[in-house]
Amino acid sequence: MVSESEESLSENEESKAIREPKTPKIPVWDLPDVPKGKLPPHIQLQRTRVFCTSDAPTHTENIQYSGAYASMGVDNSLRLEEFRNNFRVDVIKLSEDDMEFDMIGIDAAIANAFRRILISELPTMAIEKVFMANNTSVVQDEVLAHRLGLIPLKVDPRLFNYMSENDEPNEKNTIVFKLHVRCEKGSSRIKVKSNELKWLPNGSEFILSTEKATSDSTSKPKTYTSFNCSQESLPEFSNDPIAPKHDDIIIAKLGAGQEIELEAHAVKGMGKTHAKWSPVATAWYRMLPEVVLLQEIKGEKAEELVKKCPVNVFDIEDIGRGRKRATVAQPRSCTLCRECIRGDDWDKLVALRRVRDHFIFTIESTGALPPEVLFTEAVKILEDKCERVITELS
């Protein structure tokens, strides 16, 4: 017994076969030869680009196997000499706090290694301990200490040593600031800003409580730090005093009669311990966008394309006699929002891709070190890691 649904299905298949003639089969020996030593254009494009379709990106995987294209006579292995010849860094924009540059000829894993080192492994100086003498503000002690820790300090961390649990605070591992602000009774509310943090080059001024009872009038009272000399006498700080990077960071607000008196001790640390030691506000990268017009777009269609893009990637070019056509003016500005390929058949006119080995890297420094110095320090850290791995393997 054959059901009606099965009969209708077979009839549909037969009619479809009649409407759509079968593609003639070509024998294997009649296929054209694949050129040796060179990939076909479509495979080379899949190897070097990530395609961004209207639904999702495709060809995102990176082919690492050295023999992936051996049948075509192409060696896919990573060679040091080839890397040296192809890799380069192009600085696009550089300011006091920001830097944008291109890294060309590397893998995404290496770009991500630089990003992670910049965020979590480059040391800086940040306030770690806060000694409260008086706090009658509405801000709790622990919240106030947390806000102080996040204030970036304008000081080169390479001039200081790390401080372990067994070390005593000295001029080479600790920076001391004091903060003493009072809002007089009858006056209006005031703002306590970061410029109120005063550097104490001679160390702490708070006397240890255990020493108060035992110290005599002739000996110098012992404080929380043991500085052998003033940090101002050191040549690296004589002309460049230590201070917060920005003077207008609001720490707290004081009402009439309220007061804050404290000492803040800054030490050297890394971002993987706490975010306050991270030297960058952000460090990120993206692959270079590539916008390709698959066909020539003219007239009203060109104007429609220009209006579709929210970041002005496309522009209108006058080709004479009142005719206009669309051009890709600023492909680097493309955010891959895909607006230009949404709609009827727009994906047949415009192709969006990303260059797989071309990364646009952006570094925003918090101010301890310039962004170009941060990047060179990140390169040194990655180099040290590679040397340690090579030494262990050998």
**CATH number, domain with residue 63:** 3.30.1360.10
Distances (CA, A) of 324 to 127, 229, 300, 301, 303: 61, 74, 9, 10, 9
pLDDT surpasses 70 at 247: yes
How confident is the prediction for the chain on average, in pLDDT? Answer: 88
- The predicted model gives 316-329 an average pLDDT of 89
Report if residue 9 sits inside a domain: no
Measured distance CA(232)–CA(368) in Å, rounded: 19
Same domain (yes/no): 330, 365: yes
pLDDT surpasses 90 at 327: yes
pLDDT surpasses 50 at 28: yes
Which of 251-261 are b and which e, b meaning 16 or more Cβ less than 10 Å from the residue's Cβ?
A: bbebeeebebb
The pLDDT of residue 72: 84
Strand partners, 180: 261
The angle formed by the CA atoms of residues 185, 188 and 194, to the nearest 5 degrees, is 100
Report if residue 309 sits inside a domain: yes
Domain boundary among 249, 277, 305: 277
pLDDT surpasses 90 at 51: yes
Surface-to-core class of residue 116, CB atoms within 10 Å of its CB (0-12 exposed, 13-18 middle, 19+ buried): middle
Measured distance CA(34)–CA(47) in Å, rounded: 17
The pLDDT of residue 257: 93
Same domain (yes/no): 305, 224: no
Say which range, 17-21, 31-35, 43-47, 239-243, has the weakest mean pLDDT.
Answer: 17-21
Question: Residue 48: which residues within 8 A CB-CB, separation 6 or more?
Answer: 355, 356, 357
- The predicted model gives 31-55 an average pLDDT of 83
The pLDDT of residue 25: 73
Sorting pLDDT into bands at 50, 70 and 90, what band is 33?
low
The angle formed by the CA atoms of residues 107, 110 and 112, to the nearest 5 degrees, is 110
The pLDDT of residue 27: 76
Same domain (yes/no): 86, 227: no
Same domain (yes/no): 244, 305: no
Of 271, 276, 245, 275, the closest CA to residue 122 belongs to 271
Report if residue 4 sits inside a domain: no
Domain boundary among 277, 294, 311: 277
- Structural domain harbouring 356: 39-122+278-387
Measured distance CA(196)–CA(248) in Å, rounded: 10
Domain boundary among 211, 245, 277: 277
Same domain (yes/no): 239, 198: yes
Same domain (yes/no): 284, 203: no
Same domain (yes/no): 220, 353: no
Give residue-wise pLDDT tens across range 305-314: 999 999 999 9
Report if residue 375 sits inside a domain: yes
Same domain (yes/no): 225, 235: yes
pLDDT surpasses 60 at 218: no
The tally of domains found in the chain comes to: 2
Percent of the chain predicted with pLDDT > 90: 67
Kindly report the number of other CB atoms within 10 A of residue 117's CB atom. Answer: 22
Report if residue 64 sits inside a domain: yes
Same domain (yes/no): 129, 254: yes
Same domain (yes/no): 128, 272: yes
- The predicted model gives 70-93 an average pLDDT of 89
Say which range, 5-9, 35-39, 115-119, 169-173, has the weakest mean pLDDT.
Answer: 5-9
The pLDDT of residue 214: 53
pLDDT surpasses 90 at 1: no
Same domain (yes/no): 133, 259: yes
Residue that the structure tokens 């009038």 belong to:
217
The pLDDT of residue 217: 54
pLDDT surpasses 50 at 17: no
- The predicted model gives 132-154 an average pLDDT of 96
Same domain (yes/no): 61, 100: yes
Give residue-wise pLDDT tens across range 258-280: 999 999 999 999 999 999 999 99
Which of 294-331 are b and which e, b meaning 16 or more Cβ less than 10 Å from the residue's Cβ?
A: eeebeeeebeebbebbeeebbeeeeeeeeebbbbbeee
Measured distance CA(257)–CA(138) in Å, rounded: 12
